[in-house]
């Protein structure tokens, strides 16, 4: 049997960043009875009353009326390949305008196979020349790092500030890149309760970041996956809604507000491209062409399911997400309350153990006085029946090795309570005693 040498294949093979997600799936499969705070998965309760056929019929009826076609002819669209740009672009554009103030037409939207494809297509389009760099806020979602690695795009990590990206540090990185004959082409940011840190970028910090992007000729890749979990009345406009200079490309997903199995995401790319013959095209046009060579199109049936769910909620993303947002905020409050009771002052706090207190999103970030590595996770799973995610995989250069991420999104209240009780028992036994490779604790989590 022919054997291939790894050094003759793409250099990304074997890179730990590409195995981060499968690592969690593997350890969860080995400990199925453990309570897992590891995956940032949607809650299964919202899948109980799904009526896929009804959602599809809703979209078909709407589309038939819009196109002045018969329902039979419209339904046939679901069985064909379909346009690379997508079928529900108008619904997405209308919902973004109505709910988030993002004023972009359907022609600026490309419907993708999840937000992950949107990241890959966008990076491929933007980082086209040697020396084009992607900047990310550290810590950062592994999906964007993995996409950059597959495309051989070098990544610059910028520290997180108290209320968002460290703008001064980003400016310094831009200038340093230019001095080397390189350029930071784009910056990936997740301003609303980011994965993994759960941080929220303030309105003032968003405006500073937009001003810097214009000054330094940067494009901002805004991942808006968790903005829908903001407490009512505390929503901050997306960067794309505040953007007046065309610096923001907005990435979105329906995995959290509809259902993950559809794998439907989107990218809003209304930047104008001047072509060599003097013509003008949108960046979205080029992304759609690239998509035709990657996935051909996003499943029309899956788009119809999402489109029908949107239509049944008045075409509103906010209405569609309302019940889910309330549940995720409830779970987050339960997680923070349980941590306070089991590990807070009243329970006898552990030196060097601290955690963040986000107001939305799926994630709480915890700091330990010892390395939160694979070996510690194995002990936590095998001896204490609780899983979490090491934060080191979200950082560059070995940082974050004393931090872990807790996700509460898909657990029931009793499992959150029991899981934190197990976590507290684990920390008091394994962490309070110290480990041979432990070091002095760092600063507490914000």
Q: What is the pLDDT of residues 10-50, one digit of tens each?
A: 887 777 776 666 766 787 788 889 999 998 888 988 888 89
pLDDT at position 438 is 41
- Tell me the three-class secondary structure of the chain, residue by residue: CCCCCHHHCCCCCCCHHHHHHHHHHHHHHHCCCCEECCCCCCCHHHHCCCCHHHHHHHHHHHHHHHHCCCHHHHHHHHHCCCCCCCCCHHHHHHHHHHHHCCCCCHHHEEEEEHHHHHHHHHHHHHCCCCCEEEEEEECCCHHHHHHHHHCCCCEEEEEEECCEECHHHHHHHHHHHHHCCCEEEEEEECCECCCCCCCECCHHHHHHHHHHHHHHCCEEEEECCCHHHCCCCCCCCCHHHHCCCCCEEEEEECCCCCCHHHCEEEEECCCEEECCCCCEEEHHHHHHHHHHCCCCCCCHHHHHHHHHHHHCCCCCHHHHHHHHHHHHHHHHHHHHHHHHHHHCHHHCCCCCCEECCCCCCCEEEEECCCCCCHHHHHHHHHHHCEECEEHHHHCCCCCCCCEEEEECCCCCHHHHHHHHHHHHHHHHHHHCCCCCCCCCCCCCCC
Mean pLDDT value across residues 233-258? 96
Query: Where does the chain hold its CATH 3.90.1150.10 domain(s)?
Result: 6-46+321-431
What is the dotted CATH code of the domain comprising 52-318? 3.40.640.10
For the whole model, what pTM was predicted?
A: 0.93
Does domain 6-46+321-431 sit in CATH 3.90.1150.10? yes
pLDDT digits 0-9 by tens, 127-179: 999 999 999 999 999 999 999 999 999 999 999 988 889 999 999 999 999 99
pLDDT at position 445 is 63
Mean pLDDT value across residues 347-374? 93
65-74, 167-176, 217-226, 247-256: segment of lowest average pLDDT: 65-74
Query: Where does the chain hold its CATH 3.40.640.10 domain(s)?
Result: 52-318
Statement: residue 398 has pLDDT above 90: no
Mean pLDDT value across residues 236-258? 97
């Amino acid at each position: 049997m022919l054997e291939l040498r790894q050094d003759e294949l793409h250099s990304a093979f074997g890179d730990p960043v590409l195995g981060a997600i499968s690592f969690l799936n593997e350890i969860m499969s080995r400990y199925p009875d453990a309570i897992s705070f590891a995956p940032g998965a949607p809650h299964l309760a919202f899948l109980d009353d799904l009526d896929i056929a009804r959602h599809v019929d809703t979209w078909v009826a709407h589309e038939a009326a819009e196109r002045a076609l018969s329902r039979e002819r419209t339904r046939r669209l679901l069985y064909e390949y379909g346009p690379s740009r997508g079928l529900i672009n108008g619904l997405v554009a209308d919902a973004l305008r109505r709910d988030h103030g993002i004023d972009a037409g359907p022609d600026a939207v490309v419907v993708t196979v999840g937000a992950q494809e949107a990241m890959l297509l966008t990076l491929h389009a933007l980082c086209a020349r040697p020396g084009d760099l992607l900047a990310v806020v550290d810590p950062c979602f592994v999906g964007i790092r993995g996409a950059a690695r597959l495309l051989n795009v070098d990544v610059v990590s910028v520290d997180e500030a108290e209320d968002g990206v460290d703008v001064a540090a980003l400016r310094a990185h831009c200038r340093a890149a230019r001095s080397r004959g390189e350029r930071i082409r784009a910056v990936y940011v997740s301003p609303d309760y980011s994965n993994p840190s759960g941080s929220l970028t303030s309105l003032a910090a968003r405006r500073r970041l937009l001003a810097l992007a214009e000054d330094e000729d940067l494009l901002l890749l805004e991942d808006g996956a968790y903005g829908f979990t903001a407490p009512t009345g505390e929503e901050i406009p997306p960067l794309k809604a505040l953007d007046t200079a065309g610096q923001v490309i907005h990435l979105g997903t329906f995995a959290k507000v509809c259902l993950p199995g559809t794998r439907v995401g989107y990218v809003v790319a209304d930047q104008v491209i001047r072509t060599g013959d003097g013509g003008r095209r949108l960046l979205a046009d080029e992304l759609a062409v690239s998509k035709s060579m990657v996935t051909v199109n996003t499943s029309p049936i899956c788009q119809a399911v999402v489109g029908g769910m949107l239509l049944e909620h008045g075409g509103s993303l906010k209405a569609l997400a309302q019940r889910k947002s309330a549940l995720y905020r409830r779970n987050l409050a339960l997680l923070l309350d349980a941590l306070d009771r089991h590990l807070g002052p009243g329970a006898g706090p552990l030196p060097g153990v601290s955690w963040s207190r986000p107001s939305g999103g799926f994630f709480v970030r915890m700091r330990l006085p010892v390395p939160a590595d694979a070996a510690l996770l194995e002990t936590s799973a095998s001896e204490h029946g609780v899983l979490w995610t090491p934060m080191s995989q979200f950082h560059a250069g070995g940082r974050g090795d004393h931090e872990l991420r807790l996700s509460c999104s898909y657990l029931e209240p009793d499992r959150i309570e029991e899981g934190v009780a197990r976590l507290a028992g684990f920390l008091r036994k394994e962490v309070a005693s110290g480990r041979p490779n432990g070091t002095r604790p760092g600063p507490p989590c914000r």
